[in-house]
Amino acid sequence: MTVAPGHRVQVNPRRLEASGNNGRDAMTVYVVEIKGRAVAVFNIDKAAEAEDLIRDPTFLDDLMVLQTGGLPLWDGVAEICVRHAHPEEDAKWRASRSKAVRDGNIDDHNDEMWLAFLVSLTDPDRRLLR
């Protein structure tokens, strides 16, 4: 997968391996970190697929559009890392997914990727309505 020019995405395989699972094929929960801050948590089958997500141009565009505290999650330049979730991050992901199941947004038996943000998102359009 190619990344648009100017987008710097770095995956450190040693960091991913050191943080757990070593690429085993079990459904695993991963965290996206930007500037050392955990911003999103998601599940996926393989470490290589987690790495693919943070290289995906659509995902990268979303990180530049979505905001927290009035600032984009990603500036288009800072390093983005992926690692295995810590227990408290895993718990937040499970709680988010469980709520989505309860609300009927996803099927409980559906193994598709579920992504939850670990930071409060602000809606820039909402500020315009005030």
C-alpha of 23 from chain center: 17
Quick: pLDDT tens for 74-111: 999 999 999 999 999 999 999 999 999 999 988 888 77
Specify the long-range contacts of residues 13-18, CB closer than 8 Å, at least 24 apart.
13/47, 13/51, 15/81, 15/83, 16/47, 16/50, 16/51, 16/82, 16/83, 16/84, 17/47
Task: Give the predicted TM-score (pTM) of the model.
Answer: 0.76
pLDDT at 107: 87
Question: Within 13 Å and on the Cβ side, how many CA atoms surround 46?
Answer: 4
pLDDT at 111: 77
Quick: pLDDT tens for 29-80: 999 999 999 999 999 989 999 999 999 999 999 999 999 998 999 999 999 9
pLDDT at 122: 87
